[in-house]
Structure 1
């Protein structure tokens, strides 16, 4: 009898089978003895949970402890129970709590055979964590806050500042893992809040998809000290991680309309309310104020600000401990929520971060920068920055500042804490500007440009290296929206980094300079680049560093596109070494490619009329097989696929019988029936062979196998061909024909010739007796010893070995390509073509260093003739710069054009420009 449906079947996924009912009764009896509450059909969300199914699924995964130790395991179980996707972390924790309250102790008793922990530290506690099998009254400390359910977020919280060093760094990063783009958020974060402002964005972008990947870091080997010890981040991890992971804007509630109570529509209710109001008046006829008026008591409905607003307010407060708390969490949020966290949604956040970053100058100079957004005369003060238009003389002000005596080896705790706050603010800004909207938003903030100039001109100390790299990363994302004049402080500061000894700073500076005005209509003319910087860039192209060379070529491509810059090159530096190096880079990473193209098509050998003789060795191997494997292997050894040939079924069956019937009858075994044999042909040659009926006018129908042909030389099981003995013998008709026996080993063929054809007597050691007689060679067309026969057998034996095939190495096995090779194909005449292949993109177009090198050469060839230096040389009758630079390398340029297909078009333009100039 089928089980009756449950009344609540619409929201229930429980199947009331006999097994389920027996399990529930047994579970209820267990909880009654234990003295704990048992809910037969607990609910999670809108669904009733099948405890029998839940218990079975958890046990299949190893039990409660193992599932709890696995990341996202309870969420996967929640998906199996179809709990929905809305707020899945909370639903998954509710499902975990159901198991914890109802099944955990039962599992420990029945499955593991142990005494479960007392109910005071099991059922009466929250379901956070695992390790129930080892929980005791001595090693378990109950949670003080029983109302804390932050574990429902499924997140382990924001780690303490000291913990981030070990968990967030990438191996081999050297403590600076955040200099690259951010990596994608971890997969365990399934819910991401949408913090997009409801108002229209002030910046309109053409692309809403972002490919920047988040990456995070923290200052290595930096322990929180001083003001940072006034709070303990680890104690707030659970609450804060829940707020970060599950925050979402409050949903708009529908407006509820209720009628106003008046004497006309509800006189009784109006009279009752009027009476109650009169009773609440005091002796003076005034309402009695409530005892707690104006005070919002705990639990009255106010949840407090979310983590985003909390960090923003703490950062603006100016209190060191609050700022320490805010920056600690802002680094975490900007790393994990970088694709959602936008400056537009949090007014004042960018300004607060900039003000915090500007405090770095107070650590090294006697200055306290102030930002003024009005023109009220305060701009003339040396410590006031122009927040509206920027400070054009910021570099002069920095040069006039009085430096403080800072020991880079031993730092006070206050100095270290203050510098750490500045670095964390810069890291937060750096992570956020990786998002295009944030970069475009802060690009209009003049104080940020002033900070970048200040940071890049800090003293050359190890303690500020990380901050300088963050500043360069920020500049790299901002310069695409900025246009610089020759005397711009930030532009000058970026060019100064090209004199640095830090490879990372040089690379980032080159990329930042190359991106200037990328998204603007103005052109990046790169004026005012110092001679030393240009010479360094030319020298770096010689390094065996592809990333550095590529960045230098990108800079040179933009630099040489301007005629004035090319004029500066020809008059101030030696350009010949650069042209020679660029010519060498045209073949950077080149690979020689050879492709044969057929001039004469492949031919075909005619099909043999008779079946090849089956080698004795192969026959022995075939007799060991059972049908139908024996017939399949026989077909593969003596036949091959050929769509243009066919063989009659009768002839094929007769050849098979001729091979095996005599031997099979002696052993008492049977062969495959004819009908099954014909079917097996199509199974053996799946691609080509098919059984057909050929009908021709005036002829009887023929039953054939279309698509196969006889091999002229049989092959073994591995596809290796046998070798045919070509020793001429007299047939029964008297004609001279080759022997026709097949052998795989040269030694076996040699013994066959010596014993069968020369009648040599074998000795006990495997050799042959050196008999004296008249001997001649009858191998094929060989005429050796026909004129003067050999008198000893050893003379002919040494000669016979020249006709034998080469022995195959013992470790060489037949490959699939060898087995699939068609023996009847005669290769045609092929012409090899050689060319060089360099880096290319998905469309097989030129890319990488060779493309950049040819573009720089093309700019030089086009603009050299337009320079003043070239005009002066021509007037004086001297050698043109174009001839001087390109004539020595012109043969090499033509060679690259002829041998590199990807660069042919660009090389043609280059040589055309050289000849035209």
Structure 2
């Protein structure tokens, strides 16, 4: 059993020895190494312990400690070539295969670019030009379609001189419009040697064809007024219109306009287009032709009165009713006159054209007015043309319209500044109540109460929410106005009537038991309500005139309380202060009440010859100085139908005393030498002195209204606001009218054109007229109004008096028995507007001044 146990013990395993290569020996070959390094397991097991030593173990440990694994490198991957990721590889491979199979002849010409092998052809500009020159309808449509877009979008860089032959091709195309209306096919020749042998269908491309219109009208027309046309005719016309549009767009550039101006065929095209039969389908083409003419004719230096284009433009102005065509033709003719060589004279303007231009000025159309003024300015820049204008147009009406246009579309500007004098603050409890004149009170007495007191209140007071006045002062003013003449309302009824007249006025009790009426205040100047007898609707709202005659009254004497000596003056001067509706009533009041001129008995008035005293407004004579021509006259009544002052007052008897003018601060007397000038011995001094007084009085006569009717008054709203204003300080307001101006601040637009035309007319106004120079033949119907001359010249005008006899009235200078053209055209109405524009217009005032200077020089 023990032996069995001994045989069963396991044998100890051999100790492991790490492999240690021999570094000193050379590397054996693969075969030798395999033989020597392959010990059998038995051999290794038997002698393994004998080869292991401590030194070898230490070297092995150091090797393991210092071991570093080798660094890894990324793999370089080459993608697989496929048609998806590299199509050029397969394309080149196919090309190499094709070249390998090419014949020798094909291999010789393989570098030549054949159609379809990459040649892109000409650009769109060259292709469009060549397509237009081909004459093929489809190619022409393609070319014109693109040329219209190019000329519109690239017109600033698309030039004729960069594409030779393009302008000729376009003109040749638009000339085909003649074939649509006449039996003709134009042939353009550039051979001057054969000019004498041209037929009726040949145009001279080098110098133009002056008789092209006659050639057209000699042929058989194909299209009448019938507007029914076929598709082929419409297609041909559409291409012609597109060619005309291209020319019109391109000539807007100056370089292209100058290029076309050197092409004689273009003027033939314009003449033919403007003389086409009246047909609705060619209106668009004619407008394009007019726009083209406006741009290129300014560069034509040999435009004469017989030129076909110029004659066609004038015929269009005579017959056309198309607003756009008329304005373009007017501008074109004006530009032709502007660029003509000296003398710059527009010839061939007919009477019909001048008459139509004068009528077009009346149209409410700013563009039409501008075109007419440009034409008239160029036409009147030559002296002979001004005389033609006077002979063939209603120049009086034209001058009046031109004077109206001086302030065309002017904007009103108001500038105010406070007055230098200090104004006292407004007293809200009392106020100065205007004192009405006897004539106004007598007119009020014809109205029954309570309407009489209501009219008086409306004349002298106005509503004011913040103002008040005492009842006793209002009642006393009413009582003093009417008690000397008639009975009046009692105090209670009158106060109630105040609240009835002014809705916001109420009677109240103020502090210290003071009875007031709140809601009204006295006017600074009473107004005419228009309800009085003798007043009209136009008198409503007019302010009355105040008598400013100074009166000497006794003043309260102040004495020294100790000595009793008078310490102040015993008299003082006050203003009359009565208010009048009419200036003639005020003049009578001054002569009768203040100057105490004796009156003639009503039953024994001396008949005086006043025929040598022509009636004039007071503003026609300087202060006490007789006019240059004619005899000053005694003051006459301003209101029609009233008696003459010479029949009322004894002016001759009043000459015994010396009268002094006490109006405001005037110091003149009737003894001044100016009131006894030569030639006025038959006129009393006092009558002449009365004329001087009349110059102080504000005039509201019919003649004064006629002179001021052309002025532009302040608006009613601003007047009302100024009247109702309760501000304590006054301001001086200046009104100006700002007309059109350019970027430099100079006048421009319609006002400038009107001023320049008026200046030319005044500058070249003839002294006399020819055989037809009568009032009816040249200057229209004779004017019934007086004419105003800058140099004070006056003449005579025959009028019919009430008995049917002719009497002479001095109105203006006569030239050979007929009133001169200067006085007829620049009459009182025109001069009034000129002076108003001179003083109120900005910046047109300077040009209006040149008009007035030209009038003065021509009148001298």
TM-score tier, shorter chain, comes to 0.3 to 0.5
User: Which protein is bigger by CA-based radius of gyration?
Assistant: 2
Higher relative contact order (CA 8 A, sep 6+): 2
